[in-house]
Structure 1
Amino acid sequence: MPVLASHRKPRTKVRTTTPAVGFTTAALASVTLLSTQSATAAPSEPKPAIEDVQKKVDELYRQAGSATQQYNRAKAASTAQRTKVDTLLSDVAKRTEKINEARRELGAFAAEQYRTGGIAPTATFFLADDPQAYFDQSRLMSRSTERQQKAVDDFRTQQAAASKKRAEAVQSLESLTETQTTLRSSKQKVQNKLTEARSLLAKLTAEEKARLAELERKKEAEAKEKAERLAARQAAEAKEREEREAAEKKAREEAAKESGGDSGSGAGSGTGTGTSPGSGTGTDTGTGTDGSYASKAQKVLDFARAQIGKPYVWGASGPASYDCSGLTQAAWREAGVTLPRTTWDQVKVGTRVATSDLQPGDLVFFYDDISHVGIYKGDGMMIHAPKPGANVREESIYYMPIYGSVRPA
């Protein structure tokens, strides 16, 4: 069978150097995307300078200190509220027992009346053997009625008192629940701030940690230098005061000799033994303090020094560890002075004093939110429980911004 020829001409293949349009567009788009990604491959957030890390960590510790004071206040309130609730519940139990006693007495009267039956006064008169017997029986019934009425009154009184105490107990339990909620919230705040601070520190390289330690040493040195200037100024003032008192004493003695009187060594001549507030001796008699305060302050400082080296633990008040206000409270307790638990309440105790008039034993408070406190030891230095990760130590009062100071007793 013959093969039929194709009616179509074969296409001639033409070589071209022009690339396919679709491929070129996709390739260019890909190159552009890669170029854009390469241009934006830098970190989204630059690493903070070590100075900024230091400020941030210090601020987190301050915030944790403030939350610690909230925790301490809530804990103290919770303890007091729990004691009140326990007392009220005990009172309710006692009054409930009294109600039960009154109820039993009423029950006895009811049973007796049921057994004997109630007789009307007219029937009693007609059933009596003689008028005298009637009146005798009436008196007995009257006394019984009085006892019954008293039992009823007692029952009602005890019932009302128990209801009142029960309502107070319920209200106190509600307050206790609110306080415990605040306690848990404050505790969580402290933990969150400390976790954030530790996280920041953990991200530092060894070199950055060394740099941070150097910044900390510089900060401590500057604070110590300020303390030394304060001590020098106070020492100069003390010397000037002693010289003035000595000159006044000499003038009085000479005046006494010229007038032919006594030698002038008696009362009112002044001793000249006062020293500057903050000089470390606590014997200044010219600022309203006396030996009694110096004696108490000595006990406070002896106790505080004995705690040096013990760890700071937020919410702790001894004996193994302390937070800042826990240490001051425990130290002043040794001197027979009871301080509140928090810095916010301790700052309200005693007499406010200027920084230049500080004496050993005075309390120095820090930051605008009054979230830290230390015990002044003299020469611009204090003993305090600083922050988590640190131990009780001596440090310049200028290490942190001063809010104010008080003399507790």
Structure 2
Amino acid sequence: MNRRRCVTVAITVVCALTALAAPAHVAYAAPVPPTAPPAAAAASPALPGKSLEEVRREIDALYRQAASATDAYNLAEERARKQSTEIAELGRAIAAGQARIAELRKRAGAAARAQYRNGGIPDGARLVLSGDPRLFLDGAGRVQQGQKATKDLLGELEQAQADLESYTKDASSHWTRLEAGRVKQAKAKKEIEARIAAARALESRLRVTERQRLLALEREEQRRAQTAWLGTGALGPATAGTGPQGSKAIEFATAQLGKPYVWGAEGPDSYDCSGLTSQAWAAAGRSIPRTSQEQWRLLPRIDVKDMRPGDLIIYHADASHVGMYIGDGMIVHAPRPGRNVTVAGAGSMAILGVVRPDK
């Protein structure tokens, strides 16, 4: 894949503005009229009392809150799937345990019926009554074997019953955790929907021209952050090449460009941020945690200056966003509701750290 074809670094050239002011000692200088406020600070006609920049920040905060709730939702969903699988396995173990107990009881009943057919006389007493020494010796061996078999049978039955009780207890515990997880999942879903609805309601009150300016402000903020990040020298020289799995993960992720962000989605038609990265690495043959917070918690961490294409960059203090580094200071990611999978500057958001799935 030609990475250079789809990766570009946008560098904004900021023109210097010359301040116009008359020298203080010139008494006859006319007063300088106040300059007009920039478009970003201008009040929004649709939202009196708020500048477009304030609206942008408010919308961004709402989507950030939705992203945090999405991570909680995804984690609850992942745990629910795991617990459901474990419950199913325990169910099979319980069924097998019940069948084993039934078999052991059947064998114990057969032994009891055999003794009844012998008149209820224990085998030891029958040997004492025997007058044939050879029969006595042969019978003594069989009695010892029979006693051991009976003892083993009872021990096995007792163990099977204990195992069954343990399986049942574990299953009950799993059900309790599963139900608690479902409650958390439902709560997170409501929070996600509420935050997204609030952000969209705020956007819907803006005029078409204001929405266009809002998008321009968003892009300008990203460009400014990217330029500032590159200026710090945080991005070290590319010394390590991409591993074979990393190349496959990048190929998968970039093939999703243009697909919409949908919270909780893992493809193939839409993705959320960690749905994209987890599926990209799954396509490369590496299973990683589903959520950005779990990716940050469980995957090996590396320094930003040492990152290579295929690594995952975790964003924000709460690790609520993730993108895949594709080289040249760029990432591919699923930004937020209302946006599509895209290529962006790696430093366009606040970086928490970097993790490497194939380390």
Q: TM-score range by the shorter chain?
A: 0.7 to 0.9
Bigger shift: residues 384-393 or 372-381: 372-381
Question: Please, which of 368, 376, 382 is the counterpart of residue 317 of structure 2?
Answer: 368
2: CA distance, partners of 1:142 / 1:368? 71
Q: Which runs of 5+ in 1 are unaligned?
A: 1-45, 238-275, 279-283
Q: TM-score, normalised by structure 2?
A: 0.76
The within-5 A match list for 1:4-403 is 47-49=48-50, 50-119=52-121, 124=126, 128-130=130-132, 133=135, 137=139, 139-202=141-204, 204-206=205-207, 209-227=208-226, 277=236, 284-285=238-239, 289=240, 291=241, 293=242, 295-348=244-297, 349-354=299-304, 358-403=307-352
Seen in structure 2, the aligned counterparts of structure 1 residues 157 and 297 have a Cα distance that, compared at 3 Å, is: closer
Q: Is the 8 A contact 1:343 1:370 kept in 2?
A: yes
> Whole-Å Cα distance in 1 between the matches of residues 219 and 127 of structure 2?
104
Distance 1:51 1:205 in 2: 13
Per the TM alignment, residue 210 of structure 1 is displaced from its structure 2 partner at its CA by 2.1
8 Å CA contact 1:363–1:374 kept in 2: the answer is yes
Distance in 1 (CA, whole Å) between partners of 2:327 and 2:128 is: 100
Q: Is the 8 A contact 2:266 2:279 kept in 1?
A: yes
Would the alpha carbon gap of residues 128 and 232 (structure 1) be closer, same or farther in structure 2, given more than 3 Å must change?
closer
Deviations along 1:225-269, whole A, 9 cap, x unmatched?
5535766887xx9xxxxxxxxxxxxxxxxxxxxxxxxxxxxxxxx
User: Within 2, Cα distance between the matches of 1:121 and 1:379?
Assistant: 87
Displacement of 1:369 after TM fit?
Answer: 1.2
Question: For the Cα contact (< 8 Å) 1:67–1:187, is it kept in 2?
Answer: yes
The amino acid across from 1:312 in the alignment is: Y
Q: Residue 285 of structure 2 aligns to a residue in which SS?
A: coil
Structure 1 position 317, deviation (Å): 1.4
In the superposition, the TM-score normalised over structure 1's length comes to: 0.67
Secondary structure, counterpart of 1:383 in structure 2: strand
User: How high is the sequence identity, in percent, across the aligned residues?
Assistant: 34
Structure 2 letter corresponding to 1:79 = R
Query: Does the CA contact (< 8 Å) of 1:228 and 1:380 recur in 2?
Result: no
Q: Which residue number in structure 1 is paired with residue 19 of structure 2?
A: none
8 Å CA contact 2:76–2:182 kept in 1: the answer is yes
- 3-state secondary structure, aligned to 2:314: strand
- Give the helix-richer structure, 1 or 2: 1
Q: Shift of the alpha carbon at 1:340?
A: 1.3
CA distance in 2 between partners of 1:307 and 1:177 (Å): 34
Structure showing greater radius of gyration is 1
CA-to-aligned-CA distance 1:353-408 (integer Å, 9 cap, x gap): 23x55543332222221111112233433211011121111122343333233344
Map Cα deviations across residues 175-233 of structure 1 (whole Å, 9 max, x no partner): 2222222222222221121122222223x142xx4224313213313422553576688
1-structure distance, mates of 2:128, 2:251: 93
- Tell me, in whole angstroms, the C-alpha distance in 2 between the residues paired with 1:171 and 1:118: 46
Shift of 1:154: 2.0
The alpha-carbon distance between structure 1 residues 357 and 221, as it changes in their structure 2 partners (threshold 3 A), is: farther
Looking at structure 2, the residues matched to 157 and 294 of structure 1 have their Cα atoms a distance apart, in angstroms, of 50
Provide the rounded CA distance (Å) in 2 between the counterparts of 1:112 and 1:294.
70
String of CA shifts for 1:328-359, please: whole Å, max 9, x gaps: 122233433332111112224233223x5554
**Structure 2 CA distance for aligned equivalents of residues 127 and 401 of structure 1:** 93
Cα deviation code 1:61-94 (max 9, x no counterpart): 0000001111111111111111111111111111
1:294 deviates by: 5.1
1:350 counterpart letter in structure 2: P
Q: Structure 2, unaligned stretches of length 5 or more? A: 1-46
